[in-house]
Amino acid sequence: MRKSTLARCFQYEIFPRRATRFPLSWDDIFSRSAPLFVEVGFGNGAFLIHWAREHPEGNFVGIEISLESLERAQRHIFQEGLRNIRVIHEDARFALREFFADNSIRHLMMNFPDPWPKERHRERRALSSHFVHILGAVLERDGRFELVTDQEWYAQQALELFQGFPYLAVERVENNPLRPVQTKYEKKWRRTGRDIFRVIARKVQPTTVKRIIEGGTMPHILIPDRPITVQHIHSLENLQKEVPNHFFIVKESFASPDGKKFLLLIITRDYDYQQKFYITVVARQNGWIVKLESTTQPYRTPAVKMAVQEIGRRLLA
């Protein structure tokens, strides 16, 4: 495949880390105003593509954590010539909460998520009380969430979970529902007589959710003219701080040969969302500046800002 064609294949991915405003403006991204449809975990993209082809009046967003799936799906989207699809490489729980405004999604689809059946893996399951709260916020009034699975116990647990929230209405688990669009696995399983289960939850009351990406400029700390040495920087390794729901730790440090630039590898956690990035300490004409290193582009969350501020405070002491 030619390089120019390859570049066009990958035109469908959007990069929220480059955005300056959250939640994202989907009207601007698609250059039109249209109902918003979202698939979480789209795999090879076959369902998402079919769904978008059947509803050209909608804007479609796919969220996927697998880079391989992301690349494969974009090739298929390009081959189909569809313009109403965009894809994101991100954890779906974080993406739904941070990138979509309240009352913005018409239909949200989750096809055959990994059920993580072992009890010790419960926290890895996509469905949780927090996820349902996010659904209640981002779905339109009468918007719906559709879960399809081949595990009856998982569908039953989803039903019981939804029934605990007043802003969602759910009736029963459907066995082998007729669906106009099916995944390739669903088609295969139906041919072999394997049962499919569906749960649909509909939004009936408004609610909202707390978001963690903060606006404003990139955080930085100015340090007046004073010596900062390799020893000062190395002493920051393993520096950590934790407040309720937010945490950071300095994992490693690196120095330029001339001692005028340092890098600190940082890991942060905000609620259940983890980021890894660099903070740089750079010499200036009249001192130093502590700031985020631009190439890693973390989201500006409370833990990220706390890391910059605490490192600056330690170097100012």
- For 213-255, the pLDDT digits (tens) are 987 777 899 999 888 999 999 999 999 999 999 999 999 999 9
15 and 56 inside one domain? yes
Whether residues 71 and 22 fall in one domain: yes
Look at residue 49 and give its three-state secondary structure.
helix
Domain with 179 in it:
3-203
Task: Let me know if residue 50 belongs to a domain.
Answer: yes
Q: Are residues 135 and 226 in the same domain?
A: no
Instruction: Give a yes or no: residue 86 inside a domain.
Output: yes
* Residue 122: per-residue pLDDT: 66
Q: Is the pLDDT of residue 15 over 70?
A: yes
**pLDDT (0 to 100) of residue 124:** 64
Same domain, 199 and 232: no
| Residue 171 and residue 249 share a domain | no
The domain boundary residue, chosen from 151, 170, 203: 203
276: exposed, middle or buried (Cβ count in 10 Å: 0-12, 13-18, 19+): exposed
The pTM assigned to this predicted structure is: 0.90
Looking at the fold, whether 193 and 283 belong to one and the same domain comes out as no
Whole-angstrom Cα distance, residue 107 to residue 138?
Answer: 10
My answer on whether 179 and 295 are in the same domain is no
Q: Is 102 part of a structural domain of the chain? A: yes
Tell whether 227 and 269 lie within a shared domain: yes
Provide the number of structural domains found in the chain.
2
Structure token digits, residue 303: 């833990």
Q: Is residue 211 part of a domain?
A: no
